[in-house]
Amino acid sequence: MRSYEEYEKGLYAMKKNIWIGNEKVGRNDPRIKGGMMIIKETYDKAFDPEFEDLCTATSHITGKKINRFTHIHQNVDDLLKKQRMTRTLCHRVGGCIQRCMGIDALNAVSVVTYECDLALGTIYYQNFLNYMKMFQEKDLAASCASTDAKGDRSKRPSQQENPDAYLRIVETREDGIIVRGAKQCITNTPYVDEIIVVPCRMMFPDDADYCVSFAIPGDWDGIKLLTRPAYHHSPKVPKEFIPKILEIGDAETFIIFDDVFIPNERIFLNGQADPRQVPYAGFLALMFAHYHRHSYCGCKPAISEILASASALVAEYNGIADAKHVQEKISHILGTAELVYAAGESSAYHSEKSSSGTQVPDEILTNAGRRHAGEQIYDEYKILADLAGGIMATLPFMETFLNEEVGEIALKYMQRNPRVKPENIVKCFKGIEALGCSDLGGVTQIAGLHGGGSPQMETIAMMGRYDLKSLKNIAKYLFGIKKNLGRIERQENPVTPRKLLENYGKALTTQQKRQK
Ligand SMILES: Cc1cc2nc3c(=O)[nH]c(=O)nc-3n(C[C@H](O)[C@H](O)[C@H](O)COP(=O)(O)OP(=O)(O)OC[C@H]3O[C@@H](n4cnc5c(N)ncnc54)[C@H](O)[C@@H]3O)c2cc1C
């Protein structure tokens, strides 16, 4: 396992290929340091005896102890621990832990490459295993780049006016492929080692060139990272006055693949080489979304708890902690956190083993949890803003409170609950401003809604799996239309990878028929 210092050293050795605004910068740019501070937690805690059981695992490939962020889930316990680790670490960084996307994608790749090899005799699973061994041994961090530029949302990849609106293979060579396109909204890329690329939607036979998956280093030739960092105003005051939350940040990246060569051993899917691989593109898109939504069932409860914690604290500092409406509002946030977490846990308990040995969470429960989280996100921020009052958006800078001329008098007017020191009241509102009224706070809100797929995508995934025909039997029985009702419990997980592929094949055929 690597230490944070080794991770940082690895980043600083990478080529300069990041654009922030009009500047081309390297990994030492201070605007991306906040994101590195988040990833730091994932390295540090793997060596901390208090967190070690959650943050490390045993590799199913080498039998060695590895960081859990490089692990392929082998059983129910792995899924449960991944969720608990995510929740626990998110508390410590005030939001998204940012290292899950890459490993969620690799879990998906493990399932889909195995199925593809089994059906078509390809060697992608072996590529995956070799890659994974290296990934675990070097303890790498990765992005998952799934979301394409996508162009006109009503059109499929091959129907777009711009043929590069979705990432595509422009050439298949003996030693590899050349890809061209862009992936947008990608978290953490400037401060991770690798980019795992997977498709973002179902594909049809005409889309074969777009059915591609691979892994490459973040500074590979032809990769251009157009980065939009979100960071906090760093106050020029002594360290003890700076809330921890101001040290963290995020960077979202628009990745351009400018005719990039991908060597054969790093390819996990290539529809151009064999159009029979086309259905596996959608399968992979779905599987990444699935694992990522399960991770959301760990991070989102933590974000809710951070908001509930800040709401409870500010209510106390405002002197309104005992008001009935305050209790009700906070309980609403906590209720969401617990329900979403329960959905994730339950989906682990109802998970199944795929042919590759990778454990796959229950699809309906995972999507129900993730969708509920996404739909509640703005309500939770509304509660925080409601209980904090307007000053979370209007508080002067931290430096002002330490200014010789106006600092002391300003603190006098910050006094609220007489049992709380005004300095702490200022820190509390600065923290709440960071959570709900900052550049990064804005990103977290949108991530809560769209990250892992918009709520509509979760609805589609859920309803694609739910057997409404058998559900209607309950009403038919109650209304006297049907005489007998068999024993119906919850809809059992129909998402064995094989079944999923079968369903996917059927959906593809139906859509093709409809198009004709
Ligand atoms: C902060 C943040 C971090 C992210 N990190 C990552 C990441 O690390 N990796 C990654 O791959 N992605 C990432 N994403 C992308 C995320 O998965 C997408 O934003 C999400 O899937 C929605 O896609 P979109 O943004 O293209 O929106 P759109 O797909 O354009 O959605 C906009 C609206 O259009 C609707 N819509 C779309 N297509 C159709 C259609 N054909 N018919 C009818 N309605 C339609 C949608 O339901 C939605 O209501 C991130 C997003 C955010 C906000």
- Say how many Å lie between the first and final Cα of the chain, rounded: 54
144 Cβ inside 6 Å of ligand 1: yes
Segment 188-241, tens digit of pLDDT: 999 999 999 999 999 999 999 999 999 999 999 999 999 999 998 888 999 888
Note every long-range contact of 334-337, with CB atoms under 8 Å and residues 24 or more positions apart, other chains counting: 334/304, 334/305, 334/308, 336/301, 336/304, 336/372, 336/373, 336/376, 336/380, 337/300, 337/301, 337/302, 337/304, 337/305, 337/308
Sheet strands (E) in 366-471: none
432 Cβ inside 6 Å of ligand 1: no
> Residue 341 above 60 pLDDT?
yes
Segment 252-284, tens digit of pLDDT: 999 999 999 999 999 999 999 999 999 999 999
- The residue contributing the CA closest to ligand 1 atom 39 is 153
pLDDT at 515: 55
Written as one letter, the residue type at 261 is: F
Return the axis-axis angle of helices 422-436 and 278-318, rounded to nearest 10°: 160
> Residue 395 above 70 pLDDT?
yes
- The residue contributing the CA closest to ligand 1 atom 11 is 146
Pocket mutation for ligand 1, best pick of 159, 204, 454 (most atoms within 8 Å of C-beta): 454
378 touches 450 (CB < 8 A)? no
Residue 185 Cα to ligand 1 middle (Å): 8
Residue 462: CB atoms within 10 A of its CB come to 17
pLDDT at 201: 95
Residue 451 Cα to ligand 1 middle (Å): 7
Residue 437 Cα to ligand 1 middle (Å): 23
Concatenate the DSSP letters of all residues of 99-143 into one string. Answer: -HHHHHHHHHHHHHHHHHHHHH---HHHHHHHHHHHHHHHT--EE
From 225, 256, 288, the end of a domain falls on 288
From 260, 288, 316, the end of a domain falls on 288
Residues 6+ apart with CB under 8 A from 339: 369, 372
Residues 6+ apart with CB under 8 A from 327: none
> Residue 306 above 70 pLDDT?
yes
Residue 494's pLDDT band (cuts 50, 70, 90):
low
> Residue 492 above 90 pLDDT?
no
Residue 82: CB atoms within 10 A of its CB come to 29
- The residue contributing the CA closest to ligand 1 atom 26 is 147
* Cα–Cα distance, 229 to 34 (Å, whole number): 9
Residue 257 Cα to ligand 1 middle (Å): 19
Written as one letter, the residue type at 244 is: K
Residue 40 Cα to ligand 1 middle (Å): 28
Looking at the fold, whether 165 and 309 belong to one and the same domain comes out as: no
Looking at the fold, whether 377 and 458 belong to one and the same domain comes out as: yes
Residue 200 Cα to ligand 1 middle (Å): 10
- The residue contributing the CA closest to ligand 1 atom 53 is 447
Residues 6+ apart with CB under 8 A from 241: 235, 398, 402, 423, 427
Which atom of ligand 1 approaches the CA of 145 most closely?
11
Residue 470 Cα to ligand 1 middle (Å): 32
For the record, the structure tokens of 425 come out as: 């009241």
Residues of the chain with pLDDT > 90, as a percent, come to 87
Residue 149 Cα to ligand 1 middle (Å): 10
Which residue, chain included where needed, has tokens 């995956």? 128
Looking at the fold, whether 137 and 278 belong to one and the same domain comes out as: yes
Residue 493's pLDDT band (cuts 50, 70, 90):
low
Looking at the fold, whether 456 and 500 belong to one and the same domain comes out as: no
Looking at the fold, whether 361 and 499 belong to one and the same domain comes out as: no
* Cα–Cα distance, 410 to 66 (Å, whole number): 51
Written as one letter, the residue type at 77 is: D
Which atom of ligand 1 approaches the CA of 187 most closely?
8
Looking at the fold, whether 256 and 305 belong to one and the same domain comes out as: no
252 Cβ inside 6 Å of ligand 1: yes
442 Cβ inside 6 Å of ligand 1: no
Q: Is the model more confident about 339 or about 506?
A: 339
Compute CA distances 148 → 96, 191, 193, whole Å.
Answer: 22, 20, 20
Looking at the fold, whether 180 and 254 belong to one and the same domain comes out as: yes
Segment 309-318, tens digit of pLDDT: 999 999 999 9
440 Cβ inside 6 Å of ligand 1: no
Residue 332 Cα to ligand 1 middle (Å): 27
Lowest mean pLDDT among 144-148, 231-235, 340-344, 487-491: 487-491
Compute CA distances 79 → 201, 207, 347, 356, whole Å.
Answer: 25, 34, 9, 16
From 253, 288, 323, the end of a domain falls on 288
145 Cβ inside 6 Å of ligand 1: yes
Compute CA distances 336 → 305, 309, 381, 450, 509, whole Å.
Answer: 9, 14, 13, 17, 38
Domain count, the chain: 3
CA atoms within 13 A on the CB side of 272: 18
156 Cβ inside 6 Å of ligand 1: no
Residue 488's pLDDT band (cuts 50, 70, 90):
confident
Looking at the fold, whether 164 and 238 belong to one and the same domain comes out as: yes
Q: What are phi and psi of 251, to 5 degrees?
A: -140, 125
> Residue 509 above 90 pLDDT?
no
- CATH number where 271 lies: 2.40.110.10
For residue 223, list its beta bridge partners: 257
pTM given for the model:
0.95
pLDDT at 320: 97
Looking at the fold, whether 474 and 440 belong to one and the same domain comes out as: no
Q: Which of 124, 104, 101 is nearest to 211 (CA)?
A: 124
Do the strands 23-25 and 18-20 form a parallel or antiparallel pair, or are they unpaired? antiparallel
Looking at the fold, whether 445 and 502 belong to one and the same domain comes out as: no
149 Cβ inside 6 Å of ligand 1: no
Segment 26-54, tens digit of pLDDT: 999 999 999 999 999 999 999 999 999 99
* Cα–Cα distance, 232 to 208 (Å, whole number): 43
> Residue 505 above 70 pLDDT?
no
Range of the domain at 144: 4-288
Looking at the fold, whether 50 and 187 belong to one and the same domain comes out as: yes
228 Cβ inside 6 Å of ligand 1: no
- CATH number where 338 lies: 1.20.140.10
445 Cβ inside 6 Å of ligand 1: no
Segment 347-369, tens digit of pLDDT: 999 999 999 999 999 989 999 99
291 touches 104 (CB < 8 A)? yes
- The residue contributing the CA closest to ligand 1 atom 20 is 453
- The residue contributing the CA closest to ligand 1 atom 9 is 186
Concatenate the DSSP letters of all residues of 313-335 into one string. Answer: HHHHHHT-TT-HHHHHHHHHHHH
Residue 453 Cα to ligand 1 middle (Å): 6
Looking at the fold, whether 334 and 240 belong to one and the same domain comes out as: no
Segment 116-146, tens digit of pLDDT: 999 999 999 999 999 999 999 999 999 999 9
- The residue contributing the CA closest to ligand 1 atom 7 is 186
Residue 314 Cα to ligand 1 middle (Å): 34
252 touches 439 (CB < 8 A)? no
For the record, the structure tokens of 203 come out as: 């594909």
298 touches 99 (CB < 8 A)? no
